[in-house]
């Protein structure tokens, strides 16, 4: 865990500046690619009546924010649940505060700002930073497994669809990545010997493209990481995965609710069709801002093949609502979470507890 922990330590200002520039350059490049993909997809699918899109948005019920924000809160709590599962004593409330605050910080400041904030929070709560960072890493790994394994659930729905079954290359690659991550986790939690073997193997693979990589250093880091995992990690892992898949379900509910509120009924876009389009497109959240534009184009393209006439523009409007809630919403919740943490930290400082 030393490599991950060291990333959270203060760095020289020049190094931080270089890291920040590289981070933002990468984000801008990936965002440019995402915009290019969206433009090409829109041109391939024909013209879109923007007046109908804005008109659909104007028909959104006044009570919709209450429902959508309520679902968002459930989504974010489930998103932080693996951290609470892998870090006994943290609790669901503190884990949610930590996760939301770190996500908001990473959106506005270069790394390792999010990890610095996480460590500061863990310390004010009297928790071992190394064990907390190990739990944070497992939280991220379960998220990646959920992201890349989503197409498996999509394939399970194929018999219920009017779409002929077929294996897509992107989905196959995504499932293979998820399988490798699961295998790695299961080996690491078995013991330090297996953890060292996984680290050594990963180090040798990385050395093929980066000659200075030391596989033995990777083995020692993985052993330290395994030692910082909470007891019963192999039992906690399935629980964390259930919470992660719960995030996908609630996220899908937010999109489906947006569709229904904007007039796209179950007869035009059945839930099973919406779920399949969402699950097959979900790995595209690897792009910036959770695949903003890229995933949406793939998902809406799939829906357009089965949805009734006149549903394209309302579906786009629903995607805009869904993205506003799930991308901008967590940033607002993160700001609230940081204020709550600072208030709690100040109160603890005054009472000396």
**Phi, psi for residue 163 in degrees, rounded to 5:** -105, 130
- Using pLDDT thresholds of 50, 70 and 90, give the confidence band for residue 204: confident
Burial class, 225, CB count within 10 angstroms (exposed 0-12 / middle 13-18 / buried 19+): buried
What tokens were used for 151?
A: 């197409």
Evaluated on CA atoms 197, 203, 206, 207, the torsion sign reads negative
The pLDDT value recorded for residue 86 is 92
Structure tokens at 83: 């951290």
As a whole number of angstroms, the longest Cα–Cα distance in the chain is 65
212: which 2 tokens? 């200075």
> From the CA atom positions of the chain, what is the Rg in Å?
22
Q: How far apart are CA 116 and CA 9, in angstroms?
A: 7
Predicted confidence band at 34 (pLDDT cuts at 50, 70, 90)?
Answer: low
Cα dihedral 295, 142, 97, 230 in deg (nearest 10) = -170
Nearest CA among 134, 299, 155 for reference residue 229: 134
CB atoms within 10 A of CB 7: 15
Task: Give the chain's mean pLDDT.
Answer: 81
Question: Is the predicted pLDDT of residue 352 greater than 90, yes or no?
Answer: no
The mean per-residue pLDDT over the stretch 222-238 comes to 84
pLDDT of residue 349: 65
- The pLDDT score that the predictor gives to residue 279 is 93
Candidate from 76-90, 121-135, 169-183, 210-224 with smallest mean pLDDT: 210-224
**Is residue 209 classed as helix, strand or coil in its secondary structure?**
coil
Which of 166, 136, 131, 171 minimizes the C-alpha distance to 151?
Answer: 171
pLDDT of 176 higher than 60: yes
Q: How far apart are CA 189 and CA 106, in angstroms?
A: 28
pLDDT of residue 4: 37
Enumerate residues 6+ apart whose C-beta is below 8 A from 305.
163
**DSSP one-letter code for 212:** T
- Rounded to an integer, what distance in angstroms lies between the CA atom of residue 124 and that of residue 264? 48
User: Rounded to the nearest 5°, which phi and psi values hold at 31?
Assistant: -65, -40
Long-range CB pairs of 322-326 (<8 Å, 24+ gap) are 322/254, 322/255, 322/258, 323/292, 323/296, 325/68, 325/69, 325/71, 325/72, 325/254, 325/258, 326/72, 326/75, 326/251, 326/254, 326/290
pLDDT (0 to 100) of residue 215: 79
Better-scored residue on pLDDT, 194 or 1 = 194
DSSP conformation class of 251: H
Portion of the chain with pLDDT greater than 90, in percent: 34
pLDDT at 42 over 90: no
- How confident is the model at residue 23, as a pLDDT? 52
Of residues 21 and 269, the one with the higher pLDDT is 269
Could you read off the pLDDT of 61-95 as tens digits, one per residue? 999 999 999 999 999 999 999 999 999 888 999 99
CA distance 256 to 224: 43
Burial class (CB in 10 A: 0-12, 13-18, 19+), 30: middle
Tens digits of per-residue pLDDT, 266-316?
Answer: 888 889 999 999 999 999 888 777 777 778 888 888 887 777 667 888 888
């Amino acid at each position: 865990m030393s490599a991950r922990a060291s990333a959270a330590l203060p760095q020289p200002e020049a190094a931080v500046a270089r890291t920040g520039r590289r981070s933002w350059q990468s984000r801008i490049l990936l965002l440019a690619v995402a915009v290019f993909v969206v433009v090409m997809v829109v041109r391939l699918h024909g013209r879109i009546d923007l007046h109908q899109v804005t008109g659909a948005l104007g028909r959104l019920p006044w009570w919709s924010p209450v429902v959508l924000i309520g679902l968002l809160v459930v989504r974010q709590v489930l998103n932080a649940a693996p951290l609470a599962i892998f870090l006994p004593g943290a609790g669901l409330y503190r884990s949610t505060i930590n996760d939301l605050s770190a996500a908001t910080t990473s959106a506005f400041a270069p790394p390792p700002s999010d990890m610095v904030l996480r460590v500061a929070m863990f310390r004010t709560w009297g928790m071992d930073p190394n064990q907390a960072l190990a739990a944070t890493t497992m939280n991220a790994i379960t998220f990646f497994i959920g992201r890349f394994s989503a197409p498996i659930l999509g394939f399970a729905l194929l018999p219920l669809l009017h779409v002929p079954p077929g294996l897509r290359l992107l989905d196959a690659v995504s499932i293979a990545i998820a399988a490798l991550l699961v295998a790695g986790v299961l080996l690491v939690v078995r013991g330090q010997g297996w953890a060292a073997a996984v680290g050594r193997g990963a180090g040798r693979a990385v050395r093929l493209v980066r000659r200075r990589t030391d596989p033995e250093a990777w083995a020692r880091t993985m052993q330290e990481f395994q030692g910082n995992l909470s007891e019963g990690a192999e039992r906690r892992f399935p629980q964390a995965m259930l919470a992660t898949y719960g995030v996908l379900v609630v996220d899908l509910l937010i999109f489906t609710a947006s569709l229904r509120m904007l007039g796209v009924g179950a007869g035009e876009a059945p839930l099973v069709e919406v779920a399949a389009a969402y699950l097959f497109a979900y790995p595209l959240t690897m792009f910036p801002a959770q695949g903003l534009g890229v995933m949406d184009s793939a998902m809406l393209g799939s829906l357009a093949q089965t949805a009734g006439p006149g549903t394209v523009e309302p579906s786009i409007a629903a995607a805009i609502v869904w993205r506003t809630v799930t991308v901008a919403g967590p940033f607002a919740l993160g700001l609230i979470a940081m204020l709550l943490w600072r208030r709690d930290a100040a109160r603890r400082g005054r009472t000396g507890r």
